[in-house]
Structure 1
Amino acid sequence: FDINRGGWHRGGPYGGGKYFTPYGNPRLEDGPQGEHLPDRLASETAQFIDAHRDEPFFAYLAFYSVHTPLMGPGPLVTKYKEKAKRLGLNGQQEFADEEQVFPVDEKRRVRILQNHAVYAAMVESMDKAVGKVLRQLEESGVAENTVVMLTADNGGLSTSEGSPTSNLPLRGGKGWLYEGGIREVFLIRWPGETAPGSVSDEPVITTDFYPTILDLAGLPLKPKQHRDGVSLKPVLQEKESLKRDALYWHYPHYSNQGGIPGGAIRIGDWKLIERYEDGQVHLYHLKDDLGEKQNLAAKYPERVAAMREQLHRWYLETDAKFLQAKPGGPEPWRPGS
C-alpha cells in the first residue's frame, strides 16, 4: 500500500490500550482520550478519500472489530446490557454442548443466545464507523462513482469454552470448514448498477474480489495472480451466473478454535468436507440442511468419490501445502492416501 494507517503484523489490537488510545501501534498515532479504534480508522479513511477525491483511489479498511480483545465504548455497552435485561435474556441458557473433536476434560460449548453486551457494542461501533466513511463519500462528491464492498474474513469466534457470539443456524465458526466458519456477509454498492435491496444467491469467495475490482476499474485481469478467482461483474449486472463448477477450501493446520486440518469442495448445493487427520468425510446438501446436521456420505458414496477426487486434483493443480512429518513421527495425510 502507498499509505498505511494502523496496519501491522498483529491480527488484533494488542498494544497499549488495545481498542482505546493510546494504541501502542507503530503505524497509528495516539488520539484524544477515550477514542475507539474503529472510529479512528474510519476518520483516517475519510481523510484519505477527501484528499484523493479528484483521482482514482483504492482504500482497504479493516476495522479489527470484532476481533478479541472485546472492548466496546462504555455508553454502548450500557445500552446493550439494558436491552438484554429489557428483553428478559438474563438468566436464560446461553450455551449448549457441541461436537467434540479432541478428548478434553470439559465438553465443547456453543453459544445459543445472543446477549453479549460488549460484543453488541463493538458491532454498533463498527456500524457507525462504516456510516462515517459512506458520509465522506457523499461529502467529497464521489459516492456515485465509487464501489463499496463490505465483508468479513471468517465466521464468529468458536472456542470450546464458549464464545461471545452465536453463528446459528450455521454450524461451527472461525477455524472450521462448516458454514459457520466460511459463510460470510458480502454487501456491495455499485451506483447505477446494483439495485438497493437486491439479493443474489450466487456463491462467491474472497478470491473473487481482486479480479472483480480490476474488472470494475476497467483494468485487465491477471489470471496468474488471482487463480481461482473470477470477476463478479456479470452477476452484479444480473446478466449471467458465474461459469465455474466448484468452490474450494484448504485448511492444513490446527487452530485454537478447535478446527482440525481439512479441505472442502462445494458443487452447487452439495458440499464435501474431508478431514486430513483421519480421512473422515462429510457430505451435506446445503439447500436442505444449512446447519450441516445430516452427513449424507454413506448414502451417496459415488458422489463422495467424485467430489473427493475433484478436490484432490485441485490440491495438485494449486500445489497446496500440507503438514510436514516430525522426525521419527508418522507420515501426515496426503491427497490419495
Structure 2
Amino acid sequence: MHKKRSIFGCGIMLLAGVCLAGAPAGKKTAEQRPNIILILADDMGYGDLGCYGQQMIRTPNIDALARNGMRFTAHYTGSTVCAPSREAMLTGKHTGHTAIRGNFLTDEKEDPPMPSGKVTIAELLKSVGYRTGLVGKWGLGGERHGPEKQGFDYCYGYLDQIQAHNYYPPFLYENGKKVMLPENADGKEGAYSHRLFVEKTMQFLDNARKDEPFFLYLPYTIPHGKHVIPDNSAYADKDWPEQMKNYAAMISLLDADVGRILQTLKEKGLDKNTLVIFTSDNGANPGFGKFFKSNGASRGQKTSLYEGGIRGPLIASWPGKIQPGTVSSGVTAAWDLLPSICDAADIKKPAGLDGISLYGAWTGKPLAGERPYLYWEYYTYNYNWDKPGVTLPRNWLESRAVRSGKWKAVKKSTPDGKSAPAELYDLSADASETTDVAAANPTVVKQLEAIMKKATIADASYFPYKK
C-alpha cells in the first residue's frame, strides 16, 4: 500500500479501492459474516447524547452501546442536510463526488433520485448473500426510485424527505408500493410513524436466521421536525417550552428503541455476531443547539459547514471484535462506513472510494494512516423560487469546506456565484472556530482552495439547477 503524507499534518490515509465487478467473495462463510445494523438519527447533534456530554436528555441505552463498544470523538457527517448526507454514507463518496449535494425538490415535488449506477452498501452486501432491509426515511428518490432499486430486499417508510416531516402520514411505502394508513386519514393522528418503524424493525429481526447474515439500515426520522410525539411525559416536570420537551422525549424514545433492538438481538442469540453502528445525518437546528447544547461547543448548526453542522456522533459495538469502552479521537467521516462495513463482511471494496476503512480501529489497530483532506460542498435550495417577484435562483452553491490535518477552510458563495474570501481555522487550538486566521496563513489558504477545486467533479444534474 502506497502511503501519501499530507503536508498539513496528522490525518488519515485514503486507501486504494479494488474494483467490485467480478470480484469473488471473501473467505468467510455466511455464518461467519456478521449481521450489521446501521442506525441513523435525523437532525440529532452529537451533544444530544449522554456519552457526548448531554446533561438534560436521558439516553441510557445509547450510552451503554458506547460503553460496550467504541465512541469516536472527531466524526463528521456526510453533509449538513439529510439527502446528500445519506448518499455520501451509502456510497462511500464525499459531496464533491455525489449526485445529490443539497436538499432539492423536482418539478414533481419530490426528491431527485440518486442515479441507479451508484453502488450502495446494501448492493455490496446483497451480492455476498446478505438479507438487506431499510426501515425509516430513504430521501434519495420518489416512486420507482426507492431503496428496493438500490439493493434492499425489504423496505418500509418514507421515500421523500418532505413527506417525512409528518409523523402522522396518510401513507408510507413498503417495497415500493404505497400503503395507506387509515388511522391517519383526514388529518387524524392514530399511527405515529416511528412506532410503525419499530414494529417493522422487530418483524425483520424476528425473521433473522443464524445461517443468513443481514444488513438492517434504520434511518429513523427522530428527532427531525415536526417535533411532535404522542407522549412527552418523561419530561413533563421540566419547566421547558413544549417544543423542547418534545425534542427531548423524541430522543429518549429513540434511545429506548435502540435498547429494545439490542435486547432482541440478545434474546435471539444474535448479539455476539452483530455489528451495531449508531450515527446521525447532520447537526441539530440552532434552537436545540442553544437550549440543549446539542452541537456541543461547536459553532454552527444544520445547513452550515461549520463544525456544528457536520460534526456527529459515531458509535460502533461488536462483541468480541471491538474492545468495550474504547474511544477514538481519529478524524473520521460518514463516507468511511462503506469501506469499513466491506472489511467487516470480508468483501472487496469498489474502486474510487473517498472513504477509508475503520475496521482496523474497530479491531484494536491504528487507523489507516493519513489522508490528505476531507471535503464538503453544500447547495442551498430556494423553496420560493417559483413565487411571483422572486429573482434568486432555484439553488446555488452556498458553501464549501475542507479539512486537512489541523486546518479547516470554509468558503461561502452568493446566489450569483461570487465567492467570499476563504475563512481559515486552526482546529487544534480553536475547535469552536471563533478566530479566522486566514490573513496570517496565506499559503495554507491557497493550498486548501486548490483542494476545493480538485475535490469536486461536475456529476450532479440538479446542482446547480440550470433550467
2:209 is the alignment partner of 1:53: yes
CA apart distance, 1:237: 2.0
How do residues 36-185 of structure 1 correspond to structure 2 at under 5 angstroms?
36-54=192-210, 55-74=212-231, 77-82=232-237, 84-85=238-239, 116-158=244-286, 166-185=294-313
> What is the identity, as a one-letter code, of the residue corresponding to 2:259?
G
CA contact (8 A) 1:65 1:122 kept: yes
Structure 1 residue runs of 5 or longer lacking an equivalent are 91-113, 327-337
Deviation at 1:156, TM superposition (A): 0.6
SS in 2 for 1:253: strand
Q: 2:406 aligns with which of 253, 269, 275?
A: 269
Structural mapping, 1:318-333, within 5 Å: 323=464
Q: CA, structure 1 residues 280+325, in 2 after alignment: closer, same or farther (shift >3 Å)?
A: farther
Q: Which aligned runs of 4 or more in structure 1 are off by greater than 6 angstroms?
A: 162-165
Partner SS, residue 248 of structure 1: strand
Query: What is the letter of the counterpart of residue 154 of structure 2?
Result: I
Q: What is the alpha-carbon distance in structure 1 between the residues aligned to residue 454 and residue 274 of structure 2?
A: 39
The percent of aligned pairs where both chains have the same amino acid is 32
Q: C-alpha separation between the residues in 1 aligned to 2:362 and 2:292? A: 34
**294, 308, 314: which is aligned to 1:186?**
314
Equivalent in the alignment of 1:290: 431
Q: Does the CA-based 8 Å contact 1:13-1:64 persist in structure 2?
A: yes
Equivalent position of 2:373 in the other structure: 246
Q: Deviation of residue 136 (structure 1)?
A: 1.2
Distance 1:181 1:255 in 2: 19
Q: Considering fraction of residues, name the structure with more strand.
A: 2
Q: Residues of 1 paired with 2:233 and 2:429: CA distance?
A: 40
Q: Secondary structure of 2:156's match?
A: coil
Give 1:204 shift. Answer: 1.1
Verify the 8 A CA contact 1:175 1:255 in the aligned structure 2.
no
Aligned to 1:300: 441
Contact 1:73 1:122 (C-alpha < 8 Å) held by counterparts: no
* TM-score for both structures, normalised by structure 2: 0.56
Contact 1:269–1:287, Cα closer than 8 Å, also in 2: yes
Query: 2:161 aligned with 1:24, yes or no?
Result: no
What code does the residue aligned with 1:217 have? A
TM-score, normalised on structure 1?
0.76
1:250 is paired with a residue of what secondary structure? strand
RMSD over equivalenced CA pairs, Å: 3.0
Amino acid in the other structure paired with 2:258:
V
Q: 1:115–1:38: structure 2 CA closer, same or farther, 3 Å change rule?
A: closer
Counterpart contact for 1:42–1:132, Cα < 8 Å: no
SS, match of residue 195 in structure 1: coil
User: Which of 269-278 and 181-190 deviates more?
Assistant: 269-278
Count of matched residue pairs = 287
Question: Which of structures 1 and 2 has the larger relative contact order (alpha carbons within 8 angstroms, sep 6+)?
Answer: 2
CA 29–132 in structure 1, closer or farther in 2 if over 3 Å, else same: farther
